[in-house]
Amino acid sequence: MTNKPPTRHTGFRPFWPTAATPPRDIKVARMEDLSAKLQKTDAEEHEEARHNYLWKLMNNYIPAEKDSVQISFVNHIEYTCARSRFNFDKFSAYLACSYSVRDRLIELFNDTQEYFIAQKAKHVYYVSIEFLVGRFLRNALQNLELEDLYRESLNELDISLDQLFNEEYDPGLGNGGLGRLAACFMDSLATLNLPAWGYGLMYSFGMFKQTIGPDGSQMEIPDYWLNYGDPWRVQKPTVSYPVNFFGYVDQNGKWVPSQTIIAMANDFLIPGFATDNTLGLRLWSSKPSAELDEEKFRYGDYYDAIAQKQRAENLTSVLYPNDNTNEGKEMRLMQEFFMSSATLQDIIRRLKTVQKADVRELPRYAAIQLNDTHPTVMVAELLRILVDEENIPFDEAYDICTKVFSYTCHTLMPEALEKWGVPMFENVLPRHLQLIYQLNQLFIDQLRYNYHADDEMIRDLSIIEEGCEKKVRMANLAVIGSHKVNGVAAIHSELMKQYVFKNFNRIWPDKFCNKTNGVTVRRWLHHCNPELSNLITQVVGDENWAIHPGGLTKLMTKIDDPNFVSEWAAVKNANKLRFANWVSENMGVELNPNVQLFDVQVKRIHEYKRQTLNILSVIYRYLRILSGDTQGMQPRAIFIGGKAAPGYFFAKKLIKLINNVSRVINNDPRVGDLLKLLYIPNYNVSLAEVIIPGSDINEQISTAGTEASGTSNMKFAFNSSLIVGTWDGANIEIGDAIGNENVFFFGTKVENVDRIRAGDGRHISEKLTRVFDAIRNGMFGDNEYQCVIDSIYNGDHYLCGQDFDMFVEIQDKVDRAYQDKEKWTKMGITSTANMAFFSSDRTIDEYAKQIWDVHPCPLPAASNDDDPSTPSAPLPQQVGSLRRHNLGSMSDKQASGSQLPSKGGFGSLSRRGNIPSAQTHQPRQQQNDDNDSDDGGLEINL
């Protein structure tokens, strides 16, 4: 690590003035203070004395010492977990350890928030319906650089830190790539020192826990991840807001709602890596506006008396309620508005009470990023707040909206762009529909006047879709209500402009841009692959590559060193063995990682992701083995995993087929190690951290033009797992970065897809016919998979039949390549070494500079010469003598932030260096009474 002055863990806590107390020249400040002291009232003197005393009670950071860790751990065992310190189980130990780490996060979070306020910093508000954060404990320890200290401290108590890691439940706060991207972005926002909050929903049961039934079918059971509480959740019952639904709009245009549900804040603290900055992820849980109906309770109708409470709490019970019913659709819309309304109320509260600004200044203080269409109803809600509550003219309110909002489009598939039926929307949000109609009319008038738009163009761009049932097009609302719209991969952004938003791009070409997705290198290499991380550090020289991944290119200097290549291969084999051991312990299947190639496809089950193509290829490989056609065939273990939406019939049928093919292959003695097929149930972040490092290849085989970006391809590539992929999403850019010769590309290219779909007939090869015959003949169970065959015969929309032979051929090429182990290992090294562009730090840096106009605001380190024996708390005007840096304007801070190029290596980011000794004192931030917000704790009275 690069050394720098100590910035945390031990010593005196610094004090940062609030925005209401800007830094002053020290000599002038002393004269002003002397004058002020002569005029102080008794009440002011009492308040100052109280302020100083409170600061002195907690004026030091928790020390980074074994004694401190052990005392904190035992205290939490006794006082927080209410267990005897002489008799506790592993889960209690996990809780106590987590609370101990959380204490440190709270210190840093509070100081970070105070500093942002002092700097009058513009904030990013990243709003997403899901955050797939994964386990917290090890990630927090690594980002705080305290893992070794905690490991040693707990070892002295005969407690294994690794066992505690396994006690943690994966939070049920997300499902797939959308939520994992949001989690990576929060890590990068904190690491890059950007002022930010994440906002979403606090799900009680997540999406569902996936199990596989005896017949191979997906079974959905509730994910009781909160059964034993969650030590990382900081519940904030005093931070609550009323969210209204239903009702009517009176003759004066006032919304009279008929139902109110309370949104209560739950905060998770997100530490940056190698920085003191710690951010908040605020998730809203639903609570009733009244615990029970008192009148019904008095008459003994107890069940009906609590019905309102149950209905309210159900709103945030499950991620993505089944929308095959009207009730499910209504629940989804209510969820999205609930998140949007509570978030906007919180942002505006912070603007008024903390940043002391007028609501018209919202664009100066806030950039709101809409992650997909789920939060786009925020546009209508902000319009309502500005027009109805702040009495701002509609045109001005719309102008404020467009300056505040930006929107990320994550799809090219029309069905994924949300639309709500007008009758349902009007029933749930009657005033918002009025405002949408008003906005739509304003927009249409502009189209006719400024762009001479014809009726066809207006129909395409209108927020309201005409038809048998009128619908509200949320993507169109997002585009009209935002100043920037971005795609998430180069090819996706071009296709988005050419097809999805073609006419919008004609009138607003500057509104559309690309921001290729990325993943956090900390979790997806440094954290999940510690052996490879250590090997990389040996070559690079330090761990700076985790925030400057351009340093990974140094690996190429060792690629011709046979000892290094052997070490790299040994790490891969160790990771495969870890994966194989997990399979043995949890699935009862024995693998041979030293012989078998590990082939992985783990992602949401969907037709466009083409697990269909994969399983058909597996069946063909099995038929080859039975016929003796095994020359040159590389032994393989093939893994497929992911969840299907509960109402997605085809995807669930596909899971059943995969499991029954697996049952047949794995129990056939003629196959042996040549082929194993396993379906990984309940795929989540923790499983990914085992699977990804232990894979040899990964399947990124979506139909060209359907995958917006993909991020699992990036995670695998960072871990030297080679991609078998189509010319789609981020695969193309990864090929550009690491060399197309290091990616196994195949399949139809996007420019040919429409032509093939429009052609007569479908391509069913002899090889694929053999597979279909085996399925029809009942080789894998009763003939209930005809829908899979029909999907190819009747249209082949996703080109599984078209690409089948090419997929078989590319797998043969993989077999041949894998058998040259030295060349294969070098391909993996080349992959890892050239992936810097796909760090989420680069993505977030581009958002910050090109969309949000938000600047780094790193919490300054304290001076080393501060005197911890100061008899009283420093006054605001004395702060300059207690910090390394004065609190200048935001422009003064830009130089201390990251300077990240578009590709390759990264610029300077501050590092912490070694943990300071107990004798090195660091002042900690003094809380200022002017900050009575929840960022320091404002109570919201409803």
Nearest to 763 by CA among 787, 785, 795: 795
DSSP class of 925? P
**Going by C-beta distance under 8 Å and a sequence separation of 6 or more, which residues neighbour residue 82?**
none
How many CB atoms are located within 10 Å of the residue 452 CB? 8
* Whether 927 contacts 55, CB under 8 Å: yes
**Segment 543-547 long-range contacts (CB within 8 Å, at least 24 positions apart):** 543/1, 544/1, 544/2, 544/911, 545/521, 546/273, 546/274, 546/521, 546/522, 547/191, 547/273, 547/274, 547/521, 547/522, 547/841, 547/906, 547/909, 547/911
Q: Tell me the two tokens of residue 336.
A: 């999205």
Which of 287, 374, 515, 603 is flagged as catalytic? 603
Dihedral through CA 13, CA 19, CA 25, CA 29, nearest 10? -80
Can you tell me the distance from the alpha carbon of 193 to that of 274, in angstroms, rounded to the nearest whole number?
10
Q: Name the residue type at position 96.
A: A
The CA-CA-CA angle for residues 467, 469, 475, to 5°, reads: 80
Nearest to 132 by CA among 188, 189, 170, 187: 170
User: CA of 210: how far to CAs of 169, 221, 222, 645, 646, in Å?
Assistant: 15, 7, 9, 10, 10
Q: Residue 514, SS3?
A: strand
Can you tell me the distance from the alpha carbon of 569 to that of 784, in angstroms, rounded to the nearest whole number?
43
Element (H, E) at 722: strand 722-725
Q: What's the N-to-C CA distance of the chain in angstroms?
A: 49
How far from chain centre, in Å, is Cα 528?
16
Can you tell me the distance from the alpha carbon of 280 to that of 236, in angstroms, rounded to the nearest whole number?
12
Can you tell me the distance from the alpha carbon of 113 to that of 259, in angstroms, rounded to the nearest whole number?
34
Q: Tell me the two tokens of residue 469.
A: 């049932």
Which of 711, 726, 748, 832 is flagged as catalytic? 711
User: CA of 862: how far to CAs of 13, 16, 17, 884, in Å?
Assistant: 8, 11, 14, 5
* Whether 489 contacts 680, CB under 8 Å: no
DSSP class of 473? E
| Share in percent of the chain as helix, strand, coil (round to 5) | 50, 15, 40
76 carries an active-site annotation:
no
User: CA of 95: how far to CAs of 76, 661, 798, in Å?
Assistant: 8, 42, 47
**Going by C-beta distance under 8 Å and a sequence separation of 6 or more, which residues neighbour residue 820?**
none
Which of 624, 715, 826, 855 is flagged as catalytic? 715
Which of 384, 431, 511, 609 is flagged as catalytic? 609
Element (H, E) at 405: strand 405-408
Q: Name the residue type at position 814.
A: V
Residue with tokens 């502009």: 446
* Whether 682 contacts 209, CB under 8 Å: yes
Compute the radius of gyration of the chain from its Cα atoms: 29
* Whether 670 contacts 630, CB under 8 Å: no
Which of 473, 604, 621, 855 is flagged as catalytic? 604
Q: Tell me the two tokens of residue 547.
A: 């925030």
604 carries an active-site annotation:
yes
Which of 410, 431, 511, 606 is flagged as catalytic? 410
603 carries an active-site annotation:
yes
User: CA of 641: how far to CAs of 544, 588, 611, in Å?
Assistant: 33, 17, 9
* Whether 188 contacts 515, CB under 8 Å: no
The CA-CA-CA angle for residues 269, 115, 233, to 5°, reads: 15
Can you tell me the distance from the alpha carbon of 554 to that of 536, in angstroms, rounded to the nearest whole number?
9
609 carries an active-site annotation:
yes
Q: Tell me the two tokens of residue 546.
A: 């985790």
How many CB atoms are located within 10 Å of the residue 790 CB? 11
Can you tell me the distance from the alpha carbon of 387 to that of 435, in angstroms, rounded to the nearest whole number?
9
Q: Which residues pair with 471 in a beta bridge?
A: 421, 465
Q: Name the residues annotated as catalytic.
A: 410, 603-604, 609, 711, 715
